[in-house]
Structure 1
Amino acid sequence: MALTTLSFDNPEALTSAFAEDLVSILKTGIRTRGRASLVVSGGRTPLALFKQLSETNLEWDKVDITLADERWVDEDHADSNTSLVKNNLIKNKASAARFVELKSEPSDANEGVNAAEAALASMSQPFDALILGMGEDGHTASLFPCSEQINDGLDMSSGRTCIAVQPTTAPHQRISLTLPALLNSRNIFLHLTGEKKKHVLLDALDNATEAQKPITAVVNRAPVTLMWAP
């Protein structure tokens, strides 16, 4: 296990430092490989980070952005991560970035897995940076411990980069990057705020199996930087 914790006095200080680190990573990717790739997560926590990144000078036309997971809902749905990213990150100076969508037309996420995998294959990999969140049940991306698909999502030998997921404790069918796809990243960040989330993480690492708290599967297998503020 290789968890490095960077603690900040408040979310604003975290956002400022995190944005600076990400821009540096993306610039390195562009300089050394011609393009850079960024995988983000949805939710409320990264919104300030997205806004700051969107206003940062960068060769955004050489950056590919995708999601670690998506709810299988239309873009005009309030729970759409695609909408959240487009409205908060891929705007202002970052409007030139290429967004690689996981959601496609089929009504069932199982029928969209192949299209999502093909879309991901168009991105520079390993991903330059991956930003994960974590739920209070220890799920990350849409690798939910409550789902029947959790073992498939954690399977390191499946060869799949995406999986359709039906959580039983959260709404909506999902599509998620698998554990091996998430680990195929040069820099992995876990972005958390609040004492409760930090306690969930530390308790999971000490006391839970990977299937019980999937965030541990990431931390157990790769260097992860925890970006945390109260």
Structure 2
Amino acid sequence: MALTQQHFENAEALTAQFAQSLTDILAQGIEKRGRASLVVSGGRTPLALFKTLSKTDIDWSKVDVTLADERWVGEEHEASNTRLVKDNLLQNNASVANFVELKTDDADAADGIAQAESNLSSMSQPFDALILGMGEDGHTASLFPCSAQIEDGLNLSSGKICLAVQPTTAPHQRISLTLPAILNSRNIFIHLTGDKKKAVLEDALEHNTELEKPVTAVVNRAPVTLMWAP
């Protein structure tokens, strides 16, 4: 296990430092490889980060952005992570970044996997930076412990990049990066705020299996940086 923890006095300090760190990583990727890749997660926690990052001074036309997971809803739906990213991150300087879609027009996420994996294959990999959140049940991306697909999602030898997930404790079918796809990243971050989430993560790492708290599967297998503020 290799968890580096960066604690900040408040969310504003975290956002400022995190945006700078990501800017440096992406700029380095562009310099070394011509393009850089960024994988983000949805939810309320990263909104301020997205807005700050969108104004940073890098060549965003050489950055590919995608999601760690997406709810299988249309972009007009309030639960759409695609909508959230386009409204908050792909603005200002970052409006010229290339967004790589996970969601397809298929009615069932399982039917969109091949297209999503093809879309992702266009991105610079390993991903330069990947940002995960975590639910209070220990899920990360859409690798839900309650889902019938969790073993498949954590299978390192499956060869799969994405999978369709149907949580039993949350609405909407999902598409998610698999564990091996998540681990195929140069820099992995977990972005959390609040004492409760931090306690969930610490308890999961100490007391739970990977199937019980899937976030532990990431931390157990790769260097991960926790970005946390109360």
TM range (shorter): over 0.9
1:21-40 alignment runs, 5 A limit: 21-40=21-40
CA distance in 1, matches of 2:2, 2:195: 21
Q: CA deviation at 1:56?
A: 1.1
1:42-61 alignment runs, 5 A limit: 42-61=42-61
1:136-167: per-residue Cα shift (whole Å, max 9, x none)?
00000000000000000000000000000000
Q: Which residue of 2 aligns with 1:219?
A: 219
Report the secondary structure of 1:95's partner residue. helix
Q: Which residue of 2 aligns with 1:111?
A: 111
Q: Which residue of 2 aligns with 1:156?
A: 156
1:22-171 alignment runs, 5 A limit: 22-171=22-171
TM-score by length of structure 2 reads: 1.00
Q: CA deviation at 1:108?
A: 0.3
Q: Which residue of 2 aligns with 1:186?
A: 186
Report the secondary structure of 2:220's partner residue. helix
CA distance in 1, matches of 2:144, 2:220: 17
CA distance in 2, matches of 1:185, 1:112: 23
CA distance in 1, matches of 2:71, 2:225: 26
1:73-112: per-residue Cα shift (whole Å, max 9, x none)?
0000000000000000001110000000100000000000
Identical pairs, percent: 73
CA distance in 2, matches of 1:121, 1:179: 16
Which residues of structure 2 form unaligned runs of 5+?
none
CA distance in 1, matches of 2:202, 2:93: 37
1:167-211: per-residue Cα shift (whole Å, max 9, x none)?
000000000000000000000000000000000000000000000
1:46-86: per-residue Cα shift (whole Å, max 9, x none)?
00000001111110000000000000000000000000000
Residue-pair matches, total: 230
CA distance in 1, matches of 2:56, 2:121: 27
Letter aligned with residue 13 of structure 1: A
Report the secondary structure of 1:221's partner residue. coil
CA distance in 2, matches of 1:96, 1:58: 11
Q: CA deviation at 1:215?
A: 0.2
1:19-57: per-residue Cα shift (whole Å, max 9, x none)?
000000000000000000000000000000000011111
Q: Which residue of 1 aligns with 2:176?
A: 176
Report the secondary structure of 1:124's partner residue. coil
Q: Which residue of 2 aligns with 1:8?
A: 8
Report the secondary structure of 1:55's partner residue. coil
Report the secondary structure of 2:13's partner residue. helix
Letter aligned with residue 167 of structure 2: P
CA distance in 2, matches of 1:123, 1:52: 23
CA distance in 2, matches of 1:97, 1:29: 14
Letter aligned with residue 115 of structure 1: Q
Runs of 4+ in 1 over 3 A off after TM superposition: none
CA distance in 2, matches of 1:172, 1:113: 16
Q: Which residue of 1 aligns with 2:205?
A: 205
Letter aligned with residue 141 of structure 1: A
CA distance in 2, matches of 1:207, 1:95: 43
